[in-house]
């Protein structure tokens, strides 16, 4: 979620049993092929994501944050996992973008390879007065959990429920140090920033990719949400914030995921809050270096790469300008007929969103993006399902005016958007 100065005016600030693993050769460790949903492993063919049957998969879904200070998916003090997934399913959606913080994995290692319990995590994040209260509500709504339940157990349970309801999980590393994201001065902006240790990041990707092998619903992972200029770190900014280093780290992160889990797609996200990723498809140099994108740099898994972009031009007044911007900064990658497209990739709009009022969704931004996604046959995740967060920017039980759901995650915030905007968008993009 973008929180830049530029945009601040716009933003009020397991089911393994169904799977049959069919090795087609005894000699090499081939990816698992599942004879049931989700028919993995997925791969990329031109501008499309495909399942193992060759069917096109277009994600139509919502973001579900789990990267805040509590480090578990939000909303569980108000509703059960099953209820939230059912609500998402009722929209016709087929995917969630589930976010996590690298800090969760750092703490696992620091704690002798043991994850922190949810109970302890609530206390640490919300304090000894509110922590136990919110934890009690979490247990009341999710009675299968108990005092020994860890944060990763909760992620496992969300993934298992998604498998049950056939919702794909796209797992997104949103930030390193768990907190609301993102600004250019939050220490998490760029590889090597104060709270963004590169080795810990790569270790965290590998850890979650490995963990996700037991999640039937997991079909893709991202490298990192909204890379951005480290503005309070001038040396890092001048020496490293560029496409050359971006490419180096993107190779490192992709390799970490692929080695741990060869079955899933890998999403690459661009610069300036993931608003553009043109060198990947225009075949231009990764400046200030001269290297260009090459499939050979992703040996054996170039067919797993998907590009993601975000857009928050909420005050757009011209749909044609908004469309041009989306095209030039990312979606051109889906157009091999464009002479300037050197390599074709699928592109997914992994974030866009707006205040959930009955008026806002009728404006240019929302209607234009909906029309554009349908024309492109491109996947998307709206920001955000959350009616509220456990804590955001220091405020507990933070009200999310952009949330599809109400504060207690019980009803839709704008039924007119759900019926008039969102359900039609799902129908016009999703293929299954």
Interface residues with ligand NAG (CB under 6 A)? Answer: 145-146, 148-149, 153
Q: Are 160 and 15 in contact (CB under 8 A)?
A: yes
- d(Cα 423, Cα 200) in Å, to the nearest integer? 39
412, β-bridge pairs: 405
CB of 155 to ligand NAG, least distance (A): 11
d(CA 152, CA 277): 32
Q: From the CB of 408, what's the least distance to ligand NAG, in Å?
A: 23
Give the shortest CB-64-to-ligand NAG separation in angstroms: 19
Nearest CB to ligand NAG, comparing residues 142 and 220: 142
149 vs 261 by CB, closer to ligand NAG: 149
Is 145 or 365 the residue whose CB approaches ligand NAG more closely? 145
- The set of residues, in sequence order, having a beta carbon less than 8 Å from that of 20 and lying 6+ positions away, is 33, 34, 35, 36
Among residues 103 and 149, whose Cβ is nearest to ligand NAG?
149
* Least separation in angstroms between CB 148 and ligand NAG: 5
- Please, where are the H alpha helices in 228-333? 234-240, 243-260, 271-274, 278-282, 319-329
Whole-angstrom Cα distance, residue 344 to residue 47? 6
Structure tokens belonging to residue 187:
């220490």
How far apart are alpha carbons 31 and 21 in whole angstroms? 9
Hey, which residues does 381 pair with through a beta bridge? 61
Q: Which is nearer to ligand NAG, 145 or 417 (CB)?
A: 145
> Closest approach of Cβ 109 to ligand NAG, in Å?
20
Q: Which is nearer to ligand NAG, 144 or 239 (CB)?
A: 144
Smallest gap from Cβ 144 to ligand NAG, in A, equals 6
Residue with tokens 């759901």: 405
Question: CB 156 → ligand NAG: shortest distance, Å?
Answer: 8
DSSP 304: G
Give me the residue whose beta carbon is nearest to ligand NAG.
Answer: 149
Q: Using the minimum distance from each CB to ligand NAG, give the nearer residue, 62 or 142.
A: 142
Angle between helices 364-376 and 319-329 (to 10 degrees): 50
Query: Distances from the Cα of 280 to the Cαs of 183, 292, 378, 383, in angstroms?
Result: 24, 8, 17, 25
Closest approach, Cβ 67 to ligand NAG, in A, equals 20
> Minimum distance from CB of 143 to ligand NAG (Å)?
10
Cβ closer to ligand NAG: 115 or 323? Answer: 115
Minimum separation from the CB atom of position 147 to ligand NAG (A): 8
User: Which one, 42 or 138, has the nearer CB to ligand NAG?
Assistant: 138
Estimate the crossing angle of helix 198-211 against helix 102-110, to 10 degrees.
90
- Residue among 144 and 410 whose Cβ is closer to ligand NAG: 144
Measured CA to CA, the distance from residue 40 to residue 43 in angstroms comes to 8
**Do residues 93 and 62 make contact, with C-beta atoms less than 8 angstroms apart?**
yes
CB nearer to ligand NAG: pick between 150 and 176? 150
The three-state secondary structure class of 36 is: coil
CB of 110 to ligand NAG, least distance (A): 21
Supply the DSSP symbol for 419: I
Which residue is it, tokens 């090459």?
A: 294
Query: Do 44 and 305 contact (CB within 8 A), yes or no?
Result: yes
| CA-angle at 420, arms to 417 and 424, nearest 5° | 110
Q: How far apart are CA 182 and CA 196, in angstroms?
A: 13
């Amino acid at each position: 979620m973008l929180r830049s100065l530029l945009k601040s005016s716009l933003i009020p600030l397991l089911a393994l049993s169904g799977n049959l693993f069919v090795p087609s050769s005894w000699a090499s460790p081939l990816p698992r092929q599942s004879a049931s949903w989700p028919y993995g492993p997925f791969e990329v063919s031109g501008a499309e994501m495909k399942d193992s049957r060759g069917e096109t998969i277009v994600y139509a879904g919502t973001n579900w944050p789990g990267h805040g200070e509590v480090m578990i998916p939000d909303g569980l003090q108000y509703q059960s996992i099953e209820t939230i997934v059912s609500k998402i399913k009722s929209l016709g959606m087929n995917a969630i973008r589930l976010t996590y913080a690298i800090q969760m994995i750092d703490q696992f290692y620091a704690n002798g390879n043991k994850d922190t319990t949810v109970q302890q995590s609530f206390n640490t994040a919300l304090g000894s007065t509110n922590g136990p209260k919110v934890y009690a509500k979490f247990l009341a709504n999710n009675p299968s959990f108990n005092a020994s339940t860890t944060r990763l157990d909760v992620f496992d349970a969300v993934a298992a429920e998604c498998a049950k309801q056939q919702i794909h999980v796209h797992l997104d590393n949103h930030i390193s140090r768990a907190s609301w994201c993102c600004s250019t001065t939050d220490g998490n902006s760029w590889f090597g920033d104060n709270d963004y240790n590169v080795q810990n990041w790569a270790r965290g990707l590998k850890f979650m990719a490995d963990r996700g092998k037991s999640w039937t619903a997991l079909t893709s992972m991202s490298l990192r949400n909204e890379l951005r200029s480290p503005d309070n770190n001038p040396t890092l900014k001048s020496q490293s914030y560029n496409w050359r280093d971006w490419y180096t780290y993107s190779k490192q992160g992709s390799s970490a995921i692929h080695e741990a889990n060869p079955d899933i797609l890998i999403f690459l996200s661009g610069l300036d809050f993931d608003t553009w990723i043109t060198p990947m498809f225009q075949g231009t140099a990764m400046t200030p270096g001269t290297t260009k994108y090459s499939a050979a740099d992703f040996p054996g898994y170039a067919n797993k790469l998907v590009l993601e972009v975000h857009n928050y031009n909420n005050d757009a007044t011209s749909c044609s300008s908004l469309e041009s911007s989306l095209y030039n900064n990312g979606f051109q990658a889906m157009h091999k007929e464009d002479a300037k497209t050197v390599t074709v990739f699928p592109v997914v709009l992994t974030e866009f969103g707006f205040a959930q009022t009955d008026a806002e969704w009728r404006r240019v931004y929302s209607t234009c993006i909906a029309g554009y996604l349908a024309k492109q046959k491109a996947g998307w995740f709206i920001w955000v399902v959350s009616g509220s967060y456990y804590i955001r920017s220091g405020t507990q039980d933070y009200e999310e005016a952009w949330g599809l759901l109400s504060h207690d995650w019980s009803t839709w915030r704008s039924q007119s958007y759900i019926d008039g905007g969102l359900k039609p968008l799902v129908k016009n993009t999703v293929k299954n």
